[in-house]
Amino acid sequence: MKVAIQGIKGSFHHLVATHYFGKNIELVECLSFSKLPTLLHNNKAEVVVMAIENSIAGAILPNYALIDEHNLTISGEYYLSVRHNLMALENQKIEDLKEVYSHPMALLQCHEFFKKHPKIKLIEDTDTASVAKRIQKQKLKGIGAIASTTASEIYELKILATDIQTIKNNATRFFVLTKSENKHSVSANKASIKFMVSDETGSLAEVLTILAKHHLNLSKIQSLPVIETPWKYAFFADFIFNSYADYFNALEEVEHKVETLQVLGEYTKSKR
186 compared with 101, residue with greater pLDDT: 101
Model pLDDT, residue 215: 97
Residues 203 and 144 in one domain: no
Model pLDDT, residue 57: 82
Domain count, the chain: 3
| 180, pLDDT greater than 90 | no
Q: Which helix (H) or strand (E) holds 58?
A: strand 58-59
Q: How far apart are CA 114 and CA 112, in angstroms?
A: 5
Neighbours of 234 (CB within 10 A): 20
Is 184 part of any domain?
no
What region, left, alpha or beta, does residue 3 occupy, with left being phi > 0 and alpha being psi -120 to 50 degrees?
beta
Is 250 part of any domain?
yes
Domain end call among 178, 211, 237: 178
Provide the 8-state DSSP code for 164.
-
Q: Which domain holds residue 48?
A: 2-82+171-178
Residues 114 and 76 in one domain: no
| 84, pLDDT greater than 80 | yes
Residues 115 and 129 in one domain: yes
Residues 198 and 223 in one domain: yes
Q: Are 174 and 118 in contact, with CB atoms under 8 Å apart?
A: no
Torsion of CA 120, 124, 126, 130, to 10 degrees: 0
Q: How confident is the model at residue 171 (pLDDT cuts 50, 70, 90)?
A: very high
Model pLDDT, residue 56: 82
Give the domain CATH number at 218.
3.30.70.260
Residues 25 and 69 in one domain: yes
Residues 9 and 40 in one domain: yes
Among residues 246, 227, 225, 249, which one has the least CA distance to residue 235?
Answer: 225
Among residues 254, 242, 257, which one has the least CA distance to residue 193?
Answer: 254
| 182, pLDDT greater than 80 | no
User: Which residue(s) pair with 81 in the sheet?
Assistant: 171
Give the domain CATH number at 95.
3.40.190.10
How high is the mean pLDDT of the chain? 95
Is 40 part of any domain?
yes
Is 272 part of any domain?
no
Residues 6 and 74 in one domain: yes
Neighbours of 21 (CB within 10 A): 18
Residues 47 and 103 in one domain: no
Q: Which helix (H) or strand (E) holds 208?
A: helix 203-213
| 181, pLDDT greater than 80 | no
Residues 52 and 77 in one domain: yes
Is 131 part of any domain?
yes
Is 101 part of any domain?
yes
Q: What is the DSSP string of 161-193?
A: ES---SSSS-EEEEEEEE--S----TT-SEEEE
Residues 204 and 259 in one domain: yes
Q: How confident is the model at residue 184 (pLDDT cuts 50, 70, 90)?
A: confident
What predicted TM-score, i.e. pTM, was given to this entire model? 0.92
Residues 157 and 90 in one domain: yes
User: C-alpha angle 114/158/98, rounded to 5°?
Assistant: 40
Is 185 part of any domain?
no
Q: How far apart are CA 199 and CA 252, in angstroms?
A: 21
Domain end call among 136, 153, 178: 178
Among residues 121, 108, 113, 111, which one has the least CA distance to residue 51?
Answer: 108
Domain end call among 153, 178, 203: 178
Is 207 part of any domain?
yes
Q: Write out pLDDT tens, residues 214-253.
A: 999 999 999 999 988 998 999 999 999 999 999 999 999 9
Q: Write out pLDDT tens, residues 91-134.
A: 999 999 999 999 998 999 999 999 999 999 999 999 999 999 99
C-alpha atoms less than 13 angstroms from C-alpha of 133 in its C-beta half-sphere:
11
Model pLDDT, residue 10: 97
Q: Write out pLDDT tens, residues 42-57.
A: 999 999 999 999 988 8
